[in-house]
Amino acid sequence: MSKFKKKKKGVPAVNTAALPDIVFMLLFFFMVTTTMRETSLQIEAPRLPSAAEVKKLEHKSLVITIYVGKAKDPKYGVGYNQVQLNDKIASADDVPAFIINAQSKVSEAEVPFMTTSIKADKESSVGVISDIKLKLRDVNALKLSLSATPGDN
């Protein structure tokens, strides 16, 4: 009986040495997924205009982004009017195909709620933007958001 009595010596401490490992694993997972989200930019990061009347875009999966700005690669020219669709520099004429492709990836019921977000540089010209707008109208993608940073001009 004395053998059993010996064991009664309080609860042993839980070994927490492996806890940091678990947490670090989670940490690395989130760090990696954050950097992977955005498409790699072929244009210089657009300096968005600022506006006070901005609306937040909800439902990230229903947002199609079109970038307009200055291409990193000088072979496309130095103006601020290059259009980037997916990972490539393209022109406004490629917009309908790009939109239809994006629309085919979501269910039909959600298509009318899709929003096209144009992220254009301050110094881009309105000509390119209106070309894109006309093309968007051709494929009936009518919800548009001109991306801007919130704040007073």
Partner 1 sequence: MARRDIPEINAGSMADIAFLLLIFFLVTTTLNVDSGVSKKLSQKPPPDFVPPKIKQKNIFEVNINRNNELLVEGERMELKDLQEAAIKFIDNGGGVGKPNEDGTPGNPCDYCQGERSETSSDHPNKAVISVQSDRGTEYGTYVAVQDELLKAYTVLRNRLAKERYGMLYTELEKAYKDSQRQDESIKKKVDDIKKSYPQIISDAEPTSAN
- Interacting residue ranges for partner 1, rule: CB under 8 A: 16-17, 19-20, 23-24, 26-27, 30-31, 33-34, 49, 51-57, 60, 63, 65, 68, 115, 117-118, 120-127, 129-130, 133, 136-138, 140-150, 153
> With contact defined as beta carbons under 8 Å apart, do 149 and 48 qualify?
yes
Q: Which is nearer to partner 1, 5 or 37 (CB)?
A: 37
Count of CA atoms in the C-beta half-sphere (13 A) of 148: 15
Q: What whole-number distance in Å separates Cα of residue 103 and Cα of residue 115?
A: 10
Q: What whole-number distance in Å separates Cα of residue 114 and Cα of residue 127?
A: 24
For residue 95, the minimal CB distance to partner 1 (Å) is: 13
Q: What whole-number distance in Å separates Cα of residue 136 and Cα of residue 92?
A: 9
Q: Which is nearer to partner 1, 11 or 18 (CB)?
A: 18
Q: Scanning the structure block, which residue is given the tokens 């991306």?
A: 147
For residue 62, the minimal CB distance to partner 1 (Å) is: 12
Q: Which is nearer to partner 1, 7 or 70 (CB)?
A: 70
